[in-house]
Structure 1
Amino acid sequence: MQLRSLPGRALRAAALGLTATLVLSLAGPPAQADDTDPLAQLLSPAIEDPLIALLAALPTPYRPYVGPICANGDPQCIVDVITEMQDRLAPLAASCSHHAIFSLAYLRVTQNVKAAADSGYFHDRAWLTQVDAVFAQKYFDTMDAWFAGRTTTVPPAWRIALRAADDRTMSGLGDFMLNMNAHINNDFPYVLEKVGLTAADGTSHKPDHNAYNDRLDSLYHPVFDEEAARFDPMFNRYDLGPVDDLVVSTIMRGWREMVWRHAEALAATRGNPVLRQVVEQDIAEYAATQARMIKLVPIFLAASSPNRDAWCATHHG
């Protein structure tokens, strides 16, 4: 297998370029969005999804999931995850910890996943449920290791994100982006590989993976508004017109597409420790590079949100 093939390099370069675009586009002053602008319709994220659907999954043999977490794909697994997320968020919110930003966002995303699964949105609910539960446990384990002082066991992208939260060097939006990057780009490939990329009948799970892009789009505004109301009043104050929605949705889609390709590379190198180490290093470096680029965005820095902690002290509820 040629791990550093042209398609892989092209995807990686494109994703890095999209993040660079985010850095440049968010460097200017806030602007007002015009929802009637035809450009907003032309650049709708819905246009991107057919293109992503054309990026077919690589043939990957079916391997049954044998992990102990949510072994049967029972819907109760997501209910249990939500309960644990709520329990973990409460003390973070009460203390105005900067870790509360992603904790809240992740809770809302998981609640949205449950609602989608309950409505029949996904083709393979059991698989999606297992992915959700294993993914969340990876986050719980990372946070537990960090708070216990086992920081050297935490991946580089996560160290950047969690140290920034501890040091209070980022705005609320900055904390959100750093944590989102670490969890998606560093953790998600391992989760997909572990739970499986292919169903027992040989069909790929990629359509279900792609399907959640639209759901994420619907979450940005309500979650950002809640973050602003509770933790950082500047969280939702930057609106750069239709282009900002395009950039954010494109970045997330680019990340999630790269996640799938990294998961395929992990699956292809099972049983080959040398090649697997190459893939694992690639994943870690990619996520860390994204984190370093995020830290270049001016509005992601703490100086852009000077009243954040004072606001949280009276509004964190």
Structure 2
Amino acid sequence: MRLARLGLVLTLFVTLAVSGWMSPAAAGLVNPKPVDPVIELLPPRPAPHVPYTGTICPDGSPSCIEATISEMQQRLNVLAPACDHDAVFSLAYLRVTENVRDAVNSGYFRDRVWLGQLDAVFAHDYFTALDTWNNGDAAAKASIPLAWQIALKAADDKAVSGLGNFMLAMNAHINRDFSYALAEVGLTGADGVSHKSDHNAYNRRLDSLYEPVFAEEAARFDKRFDDIDVSTLEETAAGVIMRGWREMVWRNAEKLALAKTPRQRSQAEHSIEAYSAAQARTLRRMFTAGPKLRAEREAWCADHHG
């Protein structure tokens, strides 16, 4: 079993178990596919159609995804040669977005316009956090979500392993940002059909990404990303657990979208912020890298980042 990715699975397992979103039965599954019918049976809460009125990709054109991929590639082209620790998530996010583009173009999703809008808004949140951290003063940095502050400071300080950078950024972007993006773009189409089926459908696309993305991270940035290979058990376990995270994200988006009072909205926001920050603190401790590992990683990246 690949040791680094086993760490990913165990970390995801712990976070889901602690948060109460994984049952003991689900934790014992080794194949994500049996989970899909269960998720499909969890109906979305009725939510009215609220037209998306944002200025980011208002028409949901496929060109929006292409523009996002182009910007991601440009950013990676700067981060990778510098062996910037933010390059780890930058690479992973680029590969995921390329996969989303391919899925949209193949007709995989029911509502490609909604997917285009969601993809653009979601990526914009990431770009904003990264740019504010890198270009802003202390006050500006303090304004970004705490989960992102912890992730980006760990990258600046070179304080965690490559897998730690990945996990911290993934936590900030999924557990913090994703619910807000979903609520902003809308949970229900103009025809009254929930977008949750499209949200769930991408789980199966993610299954195909764990192996190649982690292998590329190891080859380019941190060889300990992917040390030992015996089986694919960790990929299927990660698939099960990621489904739990994405289900939680959807439910948090429902709380945001369906809040009837400012207090309800504030409670939903507080829950998202507190959970993502707590996970960030845990991940920061779990993936701390000592001087030897940091030096080894820097040397490897200098020779292999291309």
After TM superposition, the runs of 4+ consecutive aligned structure 1 residues lying more than 4 A away are 12-15, 238-243
Partner of 1:54: 41
Among 147, 150, 153, the alignment partner of 1:157 is: 147
C-alpha distance in structure 2 between counterparts of 1:114 and 1:54, whole Å: 27
Matched, 1:268 2:258: yes
**Uncovered stretches (5+) of structure 1, i.e. residues with no partner:** 1-11, 26-38
- Call closer, same or farther: CA 1:227–1:98 in 2, change over 3 Å: same
**Uncovered stretches (5+) of structure 2, i.e. residues with no partner:** 1-14
Q: Answer yes or no: is the 8 Å Cα contact 2:32–2:237 preserved in 1.
A: no
Counterparts of 1:36-51 in structure 2 under 5 Å? 43-51=30-38
Q: Answer yes or no: is the 8 Å Cα contact 2:151–2:172 preserved in 1.
A: yes
Partner of 1:284: 273
Q: Answer yes or no: is the 8 Å Cα contact 1:232–1:312 preserved in 2.
A: yes
Matched, 1:244 2:247: no
Q: Which moves more between the two structures, 243-252 or 62-71?
A: 243-252
Deviation (angstroms), 1:290: 1.9
- Call closer, same or farther: CA 1:180–1:191 in 2, change over 3 Å: same
Kindly provide the CA deviation profile for residues 151-206 of structure 1, in whole angstroms up to 9, marking residues without a partner as x: 10110111111111111111111110110111001001111011000011111000
Deviation (angstroms), 1:13: 6.9
Partner of 1:309: 298
Among 4, 16, 21, the alignment partner of 2:19 is: 16
TM-score by length of 2: 0.87
Counterparts of 1:198-237 in structure 2 under 5 Å? 198-237=188-227
Q: Answer yes or no: is the 8 Å Cα contact 1:16–1:290 preserved in 2.
A: no
Q: Answer yes or no: is the 8 Å Cα contact 1:62–1:197 preserved in 2.
A: yes
TM-score by length of 1: 0.84
C-alpha distance in structure 2 between counterparts of 1:287 and 1:238, whole Å: 30
Among 133, 137, 161, the alignment partner of 1:146 is: 133
Identity %: 55
C-alpha distance in structure 2 between counterparts of 1:13 and 1:111, whole Å: 27
C-alpha distance in structure 1 between counterparts of 2:180 and 2:229, whole Å: 34
- Call closer, same or farther: CA 1:66–1:125 in 2, change over 3 Å: same
Where 2:85 maps in the other structure, the secondary structure is coil
Deviation (angstroms), 1:296: 4.4
Where 2:49 maps in the other structure, the secondary structure is coil
Partner of 1:122: 109
Deviation (angstroms), 1:247: 3.5
Deviation (angstroms), 1:240: 7.6
* Count of aligned residue pairs for this structure pair: 285
Matched, 1:169 2:159: yes
